[in-house]
Structure 1
């Protein structure tokens, strides 16, 4: 089970890179990035339904929905930003630069969130090795974008 803990995020990263390319092509083909975003989100919602059906999850209770902190709902709106950003910019920047920017900014932000234990994350101090890792990623990203 420990392998799955790492394997699925790696798979998500691989699919994210592929996703950027397919969405860039969707935008090119449609010439309508905002409508492409609607289609991406709608089809994604439909693609999740088999998992809901197979798992036989019941609907969440109204109490659990009402008891969710307001800031947790912000994520549902934030989820649209990567979709439209991919549709508007991945094709122009190229896969390596676009995904490098996304991944590096995600790592740097995550180190800060972990350090302070924000948004429900466990505290993981921003020690020297994490900071060196972030700086190394920024250096690598600079090379990818420059060349």
Structure 2
């Protein structure tokens, strides 16, 4: 179980690296939007290679398209918004804030999705323990971003 829990930690490390790399690409290419597009094109090529290696068709069945809710196709748009926003914010906020603040947003939205079973997700009701966890995460986020310190007092 501990090994399984380490996978998202490594994934998060990769996201921090991705943000720094894409921010640099944005500065050398002159456009955060171009950097985001290049990142998604390279990612799409990589996914196509994985599909080929696993013998999975890269095409979506028309029945899948017509028989499912419209919102299942928004993941790519939200990914572009998230990635591009990270590229835009990284030079202004730095790595820690650019990493921590979206994670806080993910946790809050995750609680809302769990509470109401949004997007046909399993329902997991909000509890006092989850509230305590959310408050602790919020405090950690504020500490990690230096929100409690005046800017001239930060090391």
Above 0.5 in TM-score? yes
Q: Which has the higher helix share?
A: 1
The equivalent residue for 2:18 is 19
The equivalent residue for 1:44 is 43
Query: 1:4/1:52 Cα in 2 relative to 1: closer, same or farther (>3 Å)?
Result: farther
CA–CA distance in structure 2, aligned partners of residues 60 and 4 of structure 1: 33
User: Stretches of 4+ moved more than 6 A in 1?
Assistant: none
Return the offset for 1:5: 4.7
The equivalent residue for 1:30 is 29
Return the offset for 1:123: 1.1
Structure 1 alignment gaps of length 5 or more: none
Q: Please show how residues 1-147 of structure 1 align to structure 2 within 5 Å.
A: 5-58=4-57, 59-145=59-145, 146=147, 147=149
CA–CA distance in structure 1, aligned partners of residues 107 and 127 of structure 2: 14
Query: 1:62/1:103 Cα in 2 relative to 1: closer, same or farther (>3 Å)?
Result: same
Question: C-alpha root-mean-square deviation of aligned residues, in Å?
Answer: 1.7
Return the offset for 1:4: 6.4
Q: Using CA pairs below 8 Å that are at least 6 residues apart, which structure has the higher relative contact order? A: 1
Structure 2 alignment gaps of length 5 or more: 150-155
TM-score with structure 2 setting the length: 0.85
Task: Mark the structure with the bigger radius of gyration.
Answer: 2
